[in-house]
């Protein structure tokens, strides 16, 4: 079979097409988009009506859906708003590109408030009234009754009376006075916030009692945590001398970890009641209250919190009497490996759900070997019922219907023979465990659920306020999405949006979902195969294996996705490759046995042996796959997979690119210790730097010098080892890039060029600009 050889003109044409795929992800204007309305988010106005933002090739519009009437119409007169805003600002306003954000809409839809041009506005259907300059965002938390707000000043908590006349500062007063640097109230560890990757990290970590008389707060102790130096070699202020910045950064085995001290503050008396409980170790990337790890009872005298111990093998649910300070462990759970409080995929929010009205807790656990839900009584700590059970997993909690005692949720793997990663939508009675399937087909159903954070309003749930309707997007990686409105019985009431994919190339190759066998020959594993638009089954193509070697995340895209994993893989394939996304054993969203396959070795997740076995099976199915030309890549995210592949399997992987190479000994302790322990459970695991002699193929390492989630020292240790082994390699250092710097246009181009040059054996177009606008 002939290899796929390209002329310089055809290769440049492929780069142009690849740029269009990448541009779809990065584009802020509709002109750069290839698909529209791949998912929509409802903003509920009441139990039956919501509005959403609809994308168009000209811009955007706002639509109003009446679930009972099964209708969808313009939410307001867009031309009238454009004219009114233009008259008030003396600026030209396009009705298809209304520059409005932070929209609040009434049921009449003739009156709405919004932000535009850094000012607050109200539109009454005819005119726009300027309501003043938009204040700079501050870290504040307003009481439920709207009378007070709490904020941080000089590491302490302060209270402001929002109903004061503003004539003096007497309405501002401190609630705490012992806060200091590295022992501050209401904050998050700085080494996490500096990564700028996860939502909610800047949220003020306090929680008001329902009666607005007390505050539950954390004081974060970082005083004895060791520091990590970061050098700004090219300071952004324009100076020449390198600048040193330090973050508190605990590494595996360190004696001191970041710890929370939990206190209750009475805002009337000023009394501070600390919980009579040992400090709570910071063991999770999300901030304490943002993740829902603390909540109030309705009687305003008790609070509850979840304490996941260091190493994640022991968790306790604790009652805190906020008047006396006494605490009581209600129940606890232990595990031989590590306890998972969320379904995986990049440390999403925990999946337990407090029910304050009945003082119960829906608890998420993998104690049975599968991820399921359990109902606990918070008065006694007793287990009341097993809500779900079976050889399948709970994936998402959507909304609790207190009137019916029903929980809306999503599950995976309940249908034999179906891709177990596809999510369905169900309802379950939390007392009887009776499960009703709302919708389940050979698709992935996504439901907008951004209200999982305590800082976001309920209007962003995908399930309606009365739990009678759900808006969901049905999709697969090889099909265009469609957003549907369903009733509680699963009846399809209307198609709200059909994704517009008309701008995809004429010869667009939908990626192929593939089911394979792991290296044991028995376990099912699943992946996604990308081909170029100019694909021909009569030619031979090199293949690039994309993998994410981390036990808290999967890589393979299950729905048509506008994100970088999907479109960047399509861009890479467009240059003349077959690209495989695959999740091997040691990754989440399956059984606990599947996840624990690589326990003890953080960077061995998604077993490389499974990837090699899968590629060999694909080569037997498809003669166009050339196993003599196999590359490995981390998929535009941090991953130890490429370096492990190049050093552990040098005869199979010929070209590798690693971005922000992690090393478990240098990783953030909270990310490493659950899988390897403080002193590494698996003593026979060999770090990549000790295998430098094995390198045979072409390797490029990339690292952002300001990355503190995957510290550059890991790459430098590999550089030192390769130099001592007299091995050739490529190194790209990015002085002012933080985490995920591989998605920078220049870095992406260098990655593409490296594979083209060494795996395709072609010379890439010189200096191709991936950031250049389309002609």
Q: Mean pLDDT check: name the lowest of 21-25, 209-213, 214-218, 669-673.
A: 669-673
Q: Classify residue 390 as left (phi > 0), alpha (psi -120 to 50) or beta.
A: left
Provide the CATH number for the domain formed by 8-25+530-758 in this structure. Answer: 3.40.50.1820
> Span 664-682, mean pLDDT?
77
Q: What is the mean pLDDT of the chain?
A: 91
- Burial-class residue 255 by CB neighbours within 10 Å (0-12, 13-18, 19+): exposed
User: In this structure, what DSSP letter does residue 109 have?
Assistant: S
Is-contact 195 223, C-beta < 8 A? no
Instruction: Give the model's confidence band at 709: pLDDT under 50 very low, under 70 low, under 90 confident, else very high.
Output: confident
pLDDT 10s digits, 540-569: 999 999 998 888 889 999 999 767 789 999
Kindly tell me if the per-residue pLDDT of 61 is higher than 70.
yes
Q: Mean pLDDT check: name the lowest of 438-442, 657-661, 763-767.
A: 657-661
Q: Which residues contact 747 (CB under 8 A, 6 or more apart)?
A: 659, 702, 732, 734, 737, 741
Q: Residue 76: count other Cβ atoms within 10 Å of its Cβ.
A: 22
Instruction: Give the model's confidence band at 304: pLDDT under 50 very low, under 70 low, under 90 confident, else very high.
Output: very high
- β-partners of residue 3 are 540
Instruction: Give the model's confidence band at 451: pLDDT under 50 very low, under 70 low, under 90 confident, else very high.
Output: very low
User: What pLDDT score was predicted for residue 68?
Assistant: 95
Helix axes 8-26, 745-758, angle to 10 degrees: 150
Kindly tell me if the per-residue pLDDT of 417 is higher than 50.
yes
User: What pLDDT score was predicted for residue 639?
Assistant: 80
CA distance 248 to 229: 9
CA distance 260 to 454: 19
User: What pLDDT score was predicted for residue 458?
Assistant: 42
- Burial-class residue 630 by CB neighbours within 10 Å (0-12, 13-18, 19+): buried
pLDDT 10s digits, 75-132: 999 999 999 999 999 999 999 999 999 999 987 656 899 999 999 999 998 999 999 9
pLDDT 10s digits, 218-232: 999 999 999 999 999
CA distance 719 to 24: 35
Angle at 458 between CA 194 and CA 466, to 5 degrees: 155
- CA 719 to the chain's CA centroid: 31
Q: Classify residue 309 as left (phi > 0), alpha (psi -120 to 50) or beta.
A: beta
User: What pLDDT score was predicted for residue 136?
Assistant: 65
Kindly tell me if the per-residue pLDDT of 618 is higher than 90.
yes
Kindly tell me if the per-residue pLDDT of 454 is higher than 50.
no
Q: Which residues contact 55 (CB under 8 A, 6 or more apart)?
A: 30, 33, 36, 37, 500
Which residue from 757, 772, 564 is spatially nearest to 19, judged by alpha carbons? 772
Helix axes 745-758, 564-574, angle to 10 degrees: 40
CA distance 251 to 416: 42
Is-contact 287 218, C-beta < 8 A? no
- In order, the DSSP letters of 621-632 are H-TTEEEEEEEE
Q: Mean pLDDT check: name the lowest of 48-52, 157-161, 453-457.
A: 453-457
Q: Mean pLDDT check: name the lowest of 56-70, 190-204, 372-386.
A: 190-204
Instruction: Give the model's confidence band at 683: pLDDT under 50 very low, under 70 low, under 90 confident, else very high.
Output: low
Which residues in the chain are classed under CATH 3.40.50.1820?
A: 8-25+530-758
User: What pLDDT score was predicted for residue 197?
Assistant: 46
Q: Which residues contact 710 (CB under 8 A, 6 or more apart)?
A: 638, 660, 661, 662, 667, 703, 739
CA distance 319 to 326: 8
């Amino acid at each position: 079979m002939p290899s796929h050889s390209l002329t310089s003109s055809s290769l440049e044409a492929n780069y142009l097409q690849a740029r269009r795929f990448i541009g779809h992800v990065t584009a802020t204007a509709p002109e750069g988009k290839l698909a529209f309305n791949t998912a929509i988010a409802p903003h509920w106005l009441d139990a039956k009506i919501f509005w959403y933002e609809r994308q168009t090739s000209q811009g955007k519009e706002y639509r109003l859906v009446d679930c009972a009437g099964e209708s969808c119409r313009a939410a307001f007169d867009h031309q009238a708003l454009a004219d009114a805003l233009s008259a008030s600002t003396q600026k030209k306003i396009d009705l298809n590109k209304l520059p409005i954000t932070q929209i609040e809409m009434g049921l009449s839809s003739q009156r709405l408030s919004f932000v535009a041009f850094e000012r607050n506005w109200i539109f009454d259907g005819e005119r726009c009234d300027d309501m003043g300059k938009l204040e700079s965002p501050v870290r504040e938390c307003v009481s439920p009754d709207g009378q007070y707000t709490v904020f941080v000043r000089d590491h302490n908590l302060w209270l402001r009376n929002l109903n004061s006349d503003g004539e003096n500062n007497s309405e501002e007063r401190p609630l705490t006075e012992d806060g200091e640097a590295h022992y501050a109230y209401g904050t998050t560890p700085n080494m996490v916030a500096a990564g700028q990757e996860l939502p909610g990290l800047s949220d003020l970590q306090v929680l008001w009692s329902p009666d607005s008389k007390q505050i539950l707060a954390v004081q974060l102790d970082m005083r004895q945590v060791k520091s990590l130096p970061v050098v700004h070699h090219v300071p952004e202020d324009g100076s020449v001398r390198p600048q040193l910045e330090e973050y508190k950064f605990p590494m595996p085995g360190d004696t001191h970890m970041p710890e929370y001290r939990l206190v209750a503050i009475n805002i009337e008396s000023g009394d501070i009641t600390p919980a009579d409980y040992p400090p709570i170790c910071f063991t999770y990337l999300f901030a304490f209250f943002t993740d829902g790890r603390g909540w109030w009872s309705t009687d305003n005298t008790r609070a509850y919190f979840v304490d996941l111990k260091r190493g994640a093998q022991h968790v306790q649910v604790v009652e805190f009497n906020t008047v006396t300070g006494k605490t009581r462990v209600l129940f606890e759970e232990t595990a031989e490996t590590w306890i998972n409080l969320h379904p995986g995929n990049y440390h999403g929010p925990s999946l337990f759900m407090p029910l304050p009205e009945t003082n119960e807790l829906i608890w998420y656990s993998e104690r049975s070997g599968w991820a399921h839900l359990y109902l606990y009584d918070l008065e006694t700590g007793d287990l009341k019922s097993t809500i779900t059970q079976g050889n399948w997993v709970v994936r998402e909690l959507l909304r609790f219907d207190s009137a019916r005692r029903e929980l809306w949720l999503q599950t995976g793997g309940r249908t034999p023979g179906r891709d177990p990663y596809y999510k369905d939508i169900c309802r379950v009675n939390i007392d009887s465990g009776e499960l009703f399937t709302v919708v389940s087909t050979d698709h992935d159903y996504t439901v907008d659920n951004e209200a999982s954070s305590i800082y976001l309003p309920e209007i962003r749930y995908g399930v309606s306020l009365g739990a009678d309707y759900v808006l969901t997007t049905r999709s697969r990686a090889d099909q265009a999405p469609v957003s549907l409105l369903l009733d509680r019985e699963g009846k399809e009431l209307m198609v709200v949006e059909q994704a517009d994919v008309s701008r995809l190339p004429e010869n667009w190759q939908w990626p192929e979902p593939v089911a394979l066998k792991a290296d044991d020959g028995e376990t099912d594993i699943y992946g996604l195969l990308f081909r170029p638009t100019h694909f021909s089954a009569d030619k031979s193509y090199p293949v690039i294996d994309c993998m994410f070697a981390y036990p808290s995340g999967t890589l393979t895209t299950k729905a048509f996705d506008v994100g970088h994993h999907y479109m960047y893989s399509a861009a890479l394939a467009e240059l003349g490759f077959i690209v495989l996304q695959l999740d091997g054993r040691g990754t989440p969203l399956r059984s606990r046995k599947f996840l624990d396959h690589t326990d003890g070795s953080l960077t061995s997740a998604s077993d490389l042996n499974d990837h090699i076995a899968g590629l060999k099976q694909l080569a037997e199915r498809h003669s166009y796959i050339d196993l003599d030309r196999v590359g490995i890549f981390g998929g535009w995210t941090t991953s130890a997979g490429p370096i492990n592949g190049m050093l552990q399997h040098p005869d199979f992987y010929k070209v590798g690119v690693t971005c922000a190479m992690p090393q478990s000994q240098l990783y953030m302790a909270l990310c490493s210790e659950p899988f390897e322990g403080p002193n590494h459970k698996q003593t026979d695991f060999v770090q990549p730097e000790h295998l430098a002699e094995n390198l045979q193929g072409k390797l490029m390492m990339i690292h952002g010098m300001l990355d503190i989630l995957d510290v550059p020292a890991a790459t430098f240790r590999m550089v030192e080892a390769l130099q001592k082994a007299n091995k050739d390699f490529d190194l790209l250092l990015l002085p002012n890039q933080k985490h995920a710097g591989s998605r920078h246009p220049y870095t992406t181009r260098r990655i593409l060029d490296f594979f083209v040059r060494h795996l395709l054996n072609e010379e890439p177009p010189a200096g191709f600009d991936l950031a250049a606008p389309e002609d």
